[in-house]
Amino acid sequence: MLVCDDETQILRALRVILRDAGYEALPADSGEEALDLAAVRHPQAAIIDLVLPDIDGVEVCRRLREWSDIPIIVLSAVGDEDAKVKALAAGADDYVTKPFGPRELIARLEAVMRRVGTEPEETVMRANGLEVDLAARVVRRDGHDVHLTPKEFDLLRVLVRNRGRLVTYRELLVAVWGSAYADDTQVLRAHVANLRRKIEPVDGPRYVKTDPRVGYRFAV
């Protein structure tokens, strides 16, 4: 279990609580370290403090959710509604206010793990010569790096994470550009065209399929 808190005492307590419940803790005392650990060790779940010395827990949640569906619990001494809403909107599955009881924390952790599943997430997708590393934001085709813009990678990430499923124009636009672009299909089509040009070799496999007037799917 990934645990991130900049207070040594809290981090030590979390390690003991998790150990006593039968879990191994992966400790981090900053947001960036937590993100690095998540990418390398693929934990089953994460417990993230809201206030960290570099980036806050909301930003850690948001960046984890770019490539991972692991259960996330946010810990905070801040109990107001706005803080909870921001954390949940960024992708947290639950919000626990300090001070907390060990049994309550483990119960909440196991509840979100049951709800969202506990299988380790696959962060590298490979299909017909294409390799997409969701954590490192690296794309390779036939072993050669493919240089995508941030928006092109975000678009590919959404399609890959929904592999085989039709993703509507609106879903893609909101996920990549935000709700203000929900109806801007021209922007989407232009980026899909650029993405295809970069990842699909001439006379090679076609990864991104079009469902006319509906959306796209990653169908390899």
Q: What is the per-residue pLDDT across 112-149, written as a single tens digit (0 to 9) for each?
A: 888 765 455 567 888 889 999 988 889 999 999 999 99
**The CATH number of 2-116 is which of 3.40.250.10, 1.25.40.10, 2.40.128.20, 3.40.50.2300?**
3.40.50.2300
Q: What is the per-residue pLDDT across 68-108, written as a single tens digit (0 to 9) for each?
A: 888 999 998 877 778 888 888 888 888 988 888 999 999 98
Mean pLDDT confidence for 2-17 = 92
pLDDT in the model for residue 121 = 56
pTM, entire model: 0.62
Distance between CA atoms of 141 and 136, rounded to whole angstroms?
A: 15
Is the pLDDT confidence value at 219 over 90?
A: no
Distance between CA atoms of 162 and 168, rounded to whole angstroms?
A: 11
pLDDT in the model for residue 212 = 86
Same fold across 2-116 and 124-218: no
pLDDT in the model for residue 156 = 94
Mean pLDDT confidence for 51-63 = 90
Establish how many alpha carbons lie within 13 A of residue 27's alpha carbon, considering only the half-sphere containing its beta carbon: 16
Instruction: List the chain domain ranges.
Output: 2-116, 124-218
pLDDT in the model for residue 196 = 95
CATH 1.10.10.10 fits 124-218, yes or no: yes
- Residue 12 pLDDT level (bands cut at 50, 70, 90): very high
Q: What is the per-residue pLDDT across 146-182, written as a single tens digit (0 to 9) for each?
A: 999 999 999 998 898 888 888 889 888 888 887 788 8
**What are the backbone angles phi and psi of residue 158, rounded to the nearest 5°?**
-65, -45
